[in-house]
Every structure is written in structure tokens, then in C-alpha cells.
Amino acid sequence: MSFVAYDRPVRTAFIGLGRIYDLNVRGYLDNPEADVVALVDPSPDRRAQRQQDWPEAATFASVAELAASGLEVDAVESLLPAPLHADGVVDMLDRGWHVNCQKPMCNDLAGARKMLKAAEANNRVLRVMENYLFYQPLHQLKAVVESGEIGEVVGYHMKMVGVGNGGWDVPWSSFEWQMEQMKVGRGIMIFDDGWHKLSTALWLFGPIRQVRAWIGNTHMGPGVDIDAPTMIMWEHESGIRGAWDVTCAPDMYLRSDYYTNDERWEVTGYKGFARVNRCTGRGIQQPSVEVYADGEMRSYHALDDDWGSTFRDSGRHWLRWLHTGEGPLLWSAEEATDVLRFALAAYESSAAGGTGGDPREGR
């Protein structure tokens, strides 16, 4: 792809103005690298609400209306419900816009291939943003591991508990499409939120050659199922093994400014360990990163451990990238496809009773 970097603000349209807009917008506020020129959502209430942030922006009920208006757009922030990503993003690329798409990329490899092809055919950039890769405590964890401070890595695990009480309000409409996703085997814990955890595994330790999974189900009520308890294990090409334990605690309360997820990452080395104690919610309220080695515990007290900052930094990274064309996209569409392959290999393994599968061989 030949990309010409922008030397002026990127004319941007927000497509989808729902719950996650509140965080994605942080990369654009007070950022001279973008001009938000359009806001698109079928909901008049959402359009009116978000117009307060961008009084100069034009509003539209659909992408087709925006395109028909003749308004010039360089790039879009695609915040559509996940089931609309594949077709929606192809449409946006076909209209000649660069796309910064929310995760999950799409439900299957056929969709991913369509999206990759559309980006190539239109000579446009497709990014599938991964805000967790901008979480400072995870950066610190990676730096500690790479510094050798805990010795050679012998393994790691991640933990995630979906907690029922606390956090910000999520409108029922934001759950409705999640329930549709669950019906087609793409649940909220493993595929939607879990996408981030799978991403961090790839980001921390590289390509994966084998995945084994045991995906469970908790029936919460009519039409509402949660894909936990679940355990997924894998082996990286380096030989490092990881495991992820996913549970659901419907009556637990967790303090959070956002979603109520209790999340942890812990890497064990030959001579110590390093762990991230929390992320989206405020579960363990100790310093967000702790490192044990040689009989001593070291804590990081001054990291930006506000999960919301990851959206600000991810958005700024995208806009900076569009002005330079340099460095990693975090993630590119190809890298996001590897995350999808990882998830698909877990589903295949679970369906086959937990046998090992190679994500690189998925069709």
C-alpha cells in the first residue's frame, strides 16, 4: 500500500455514537491533528448528545447519507456494533476512507479476508485499534520481563472475572447485539472483551503454535448467556506457555469508572515474578504493577493506571500515524487477524473436547 501522510488535520467522521464513543473521543479532544467533521448514528438522541462535543460537525443517520452529502472525509472512527464490522468496514473502505475500527475485527476469517482485500483494493489503511496495548502498567510489565529482572520466562497467566455490580451504566441496547453474538458462538467474555486478553498474549510473547480450550456457559436468564467459566491454554512459538482463567461473579460488586472487570496478568521467571493487578476496574487496589525478585518486592506507584487513558493514547497514536505513516499501527488488520485466529482456535479446541489446535492453520 502506498500511503501519503497528512500534513493537515485529518477530517474524521465518527460512525456509531454509542457507549464506547465516550472513551474513543478522548483521542480527538484538544487534538489539532484531527477535525471531527461528521457524526453518524441512526439514533437522533445519540446524534444530539454527541453534537455537544462537536457543534461544527454535520450529523447523519447513516453512512450512505454522509457519503451522499459530498462532505469530504479522510478517515473514520468505526464504533459500530461488532456484527456490523465486516460489511460496514468494507463499505467505508470502498468509499475511500481510512478506517480505525473497534475490536473485535469480525466473526470469521471470511469476513477478515474481505476487510483486508477492501483495504488493499482501495489503497486505504485499516487499523483495528487495541487500546490495551496502551495501558501503562502492561507496558511496565513488558519492560520488566524484557529487562531480565525476573530471569528467563517460564510461563504466565491471565485472570478475568466478569462482575455483576458497579461501574458505569451500559444501556440495554449495547447488550442486545452482544446477545446476538452469543447465539452465533461469539460471546461477550471470550470473543468481545476477551479479544483484548488474547491480543496482550500475542503482544507480550509473539506468535502462538498451539491452543487448548474448555469454554463454558452460564445461563443468566432468557436469552442471556455468558461464556464462562472458561479456561484457555496455549504455547507460543518460543515455547512459553500461557493460560487464561475466565469466570463470572454476578453478585460481586467492583468499584470501576467503566466496565466491572477484575483482570490480572502475572508472568513467572526463573528468579521472580511480575504482575499487573488490575485494569478496567479497581479490583486489587495495590500499586498496579508489582515485581518480586531476589527476595524483594518492588511496586510501581506512579503509573497512569486509568484504563480510560488507553483510548486517549490509542486515538492519538492513530492520528500521529496518519501524519507520519511510520511505526506499528497497534494493530494492523493482519495482526488483528492473528487475534481472530487465536480465538477461533480456542473455539475449535473446545468443540473437540480440549485437543490442541494450531491457530496458524485456521481456515
Ligand X SMILES: NC(=O)c1ccc[n+]([C@@H]2O[C@H](COP(=O)([O-])OP(=O)(O)OC[C@H]3O[C@@H](n4cnc5c(N)ncnc54)[C@H](O)[C@@H]3O)[C@@H](O)[C@H]2O)c1
Which residue, 15 or 228, has its beta carbon nearer to ligand X?
15
Judged by CB, which is closer to ligand X: 42, or 206? 42
Nearer to ligand X, 16 or 27 (CB): 16
Report which of 20, 23, 53 is spatially closest to residue 39, judged by C-alpha positions.
53
Q: Around Cβ 10, how many Cβ atoms within 10 Å?
A: 20
Which residue has the CB atom at the shortest distance from ligand X?
Answer: 18
Q: With respect to ligand X, which residue has the nearer C-beta, 83 or 287? A: 83
In angstroms, what is the minimal distance from the CB of 16 to ligand X? 3
To ligand X, the closest distance from the beta carbon of 68 in angstroms equals: 14
* Identity of the residue, 177 or 214, whose beta carbon is nearer to ligand X in the bound complex: 177
DSSP 119-170: HHHTT--EEE--GGGG-HHHHHHHHHHHHTTT-SEEEEEEEEEEEEE-SS--
- Smallest gap from residue 57 Cβ to ligand X (A): 14
Q: Least distance from C-beta 66 to ligand X, angstroms?
A: 9
Backbone angles phi, psi at 131, to 5 degrees: -65, -25
Distance CA 169, CA 154 (A): 40
Q: In this complex, which beta carbon is closest to ligand X, that of residue 41 or of residue 290?
A: 41
Are 156 and 200 a contacting pair, CB within 8 Å?
no
Residue (of 281, 318, 279) closest to 78 by Cα position: 318
Least separation, in Å, of the C-beta of 345 and ligand X?
Answer: 20
Q: For 310-333, give the DSSP string.
A: HHHHHHHHHHHHHHH--S--SSBH
Residue 21 Cβ vs ligand X, minimum distance, rounded to whole Å: 6
Which residues lie closer than 8 Å to 145 by C-beta, 6 or more apart?
153, 204, 267, 269, 274
Q: Distance (Å, rounded) from C-alpha 191 to C-alpha 198?
A: 9
Residues of the shown chain interacting with ligand X in the complex, contacts defined by CB under 6 A:
15-20, 40-43, 46, 62-63, 79-82, 84, 102-103, 131, 173-174, 192
Question: Nearest distance from residue 260's CB to ligand X, in Å?
Answer: 13
CA 271 – CA 304 distance, rounded (Å)? 27
- The Cβ-side half-sphere exposure at 204, using a 13 Å CA radius, reads 33
Distances (CA, A) of 276 to 1, 158, 170, 264, 282: 37, 9, 26, 6, 12
Q: How far is CA 26 from CA 22, 219, 225, 325, in A?
A: 7, 35, 32, 21
Q: How far is the CB of 63 from ligand X (least distance, A)?
A: 6
* Residue (76 or 233) nearer to ligand X, CB: 76
Query: Which C-beta is closer to ligand X: that of 62 or that of 355?
Result: 62
Are 11 and 75 in contact, with CB atoms under 8 Å apart?
A: yes
